[in-house]
Structure 1
Amino acid sequence: MRHRRRRRHSLTHLGLLRLTEYLEGVNFAAYVDLLQTPWRLALLNLIGGIFRGLGIGLGFTVIAGLVVLILQQLELLNLPIIGKWIADLVQIVDGQLRARQFTY
Structure 2
Amino acid sequence: MAETAARIEEPLRTLAAYLERGNFAEYVYMVTRPSRLIWINLISGLSRGVGIGVGFTLIAALLVYLLQALAVYNLPVIGGFIAELVKIVQAQLHTPRVP
TM over 0.5: yes
SS at match of 1:62: helix
2:26 corresponds to 1:30: yes
Runs of 5+ unmatched residues, structure 1? 1-5
> Equivalent of 1:43, from 28, 39, 43?
39
Residues 33-58 of structure 1: CA distance to partner in whole angstroms, max 9, x if unpaired?
01111111101111111111111000
Q: Aligned runs of 1:1-104 on 2, under 5 Å?
A: 10=7, 13-102=9-98
What number of residue pairs does the alignment pair up?
A: 96
Q: CA RMSD in A?
A: 1.9
Deviates more, 1:13-22 or 1:89-98: 13-22
After the TM superposition, list the runs of 4 or more consecutive aligned residues in structure 1 that deviate by more than 6 angstroms.
none
- For the residues of structure 2 that align with 1:13 and 1:79, how far apart are their CA atoms? 75
Runs of 5+ unmatched residues, structure 2? none
Deviates more, 1:90-99 or 1:63-72: 90-99
- For the residues of structure 1 that align with 2:98 and 2:21, how far apart are their CA atoms? 53
